[in-house]
Amino acid sequence: MKINVARRAGWLYLLLIPLGVFGILFVPTYFIDPGNIENTINKIANDELLFRMSIVSSLLTQVVQIFVVLALYELFKAVNKKMALFMVISIMAAVPIAMLNELNYFALLESLGSPNHVDMYLNLHEYGVFIAQIFWGIWLFPMGWLAYKSGFIPKVIGVLLIIACFGYIVDSFLVFLNVNIGVVFSDFTFLGEPAIVLWLLIKGTAITQHLNKLTTKNI
């Protein structure tokens, strides 16, 4: 067992927050003016470097996500190897979807002179995010189950992660079905992720010691 695998997983997971916020949430809130595509185009054209930086941040988010899930696999494989592998497969499915989705933003930059094309690429990118979000939800189910069964993470965090899983998935399919109920479930069900990050960072040493004992016992 490598030293402090829990804390390493926690720091990597924490890194996803600023990268994800800037790469995925920043563009819709800063650049996009709903109902005014001309203003949106002007904002992007006037600050293209910042727009491109957000694309790079989104791509880096996916790269870091790979290291996060591999660290979590190392953490949880002693609990249940098959479920830990399911967790890895789920996030590995999301990574290429999310990275390829950024092509819509590059296409948008090439189409700034055509409002209709810009609007189309913005919509396609939004749908692409919600497709990737299905897997961002799915991977939380095995992670939550593993956390619940682990003995070194509070069961309530495992339950919160499973709840977060369904929040993301429901939000995605409501978008695909064009159903607007006025509620974004993931705005209320996300608590499991910051909770597990804090637990891994605070209790990292104790968790690693627990895993070392478990590994020694199974040898």
Residues 6+ apart with CB under 8 A from 181: 174
Please name the residue that has the structure tokens 């399919």. 173
- pLDDT band, residue 208 (cuts 50/70/90): confident
pTM of the full predicted structure? 0.87
pLDDT at 205: 74
| 66, amino acid identity | I
Per residue in 156-205, pLDDT (tens digit) is: 999 999 999 999 999 999 999 999 998 999 999 999 999 999 999 998 77
Please name the residue that has the structure tokens 């910042």. 50
Per residue in 11-42, pLDDT (tens digit) is: 999 999 999 889 888 888 889 888 899 999 99
**In residues, how long is the chain?**
219
Average confidence (pLDDT) over 62-71 = 96
**What whole-number percentage of the chain has pLDDT above 70?**
95
Burial class (CB in 10 A: 0-12, 13-18, 19+), 94: buried
Cα–Cα distance measured from residue 181 to residue 194, given in angstroms and rounded to the nearest whole number: 26
Query: Which among 52, 60, 47 has a CA at the least distance from the CA of 17?
Result: 60
Cα–Cα distance measured from residue 170 to residue 168, given in angstroms and rounded to the nearest whole number: 6
pLDDT at 216: 55
pLDDT at 3: 52
pLDDT at 24: 86
Higher local confidence (pLDDT), 189 or 219? 189
pLDDT at 215: 58
- Residue 1 pLDDT exceeds 50: no
Cα–Cα distance measured from residue 42 to residue 31, given in angstroms and rounded to the nearest whole number: 9
Q: Which long-range contacts (CB under 8 A, 24 or more apart) does 173-178 make?
A: 173/134, 175/126, 175/127, 175/130, 176/127, 176/130
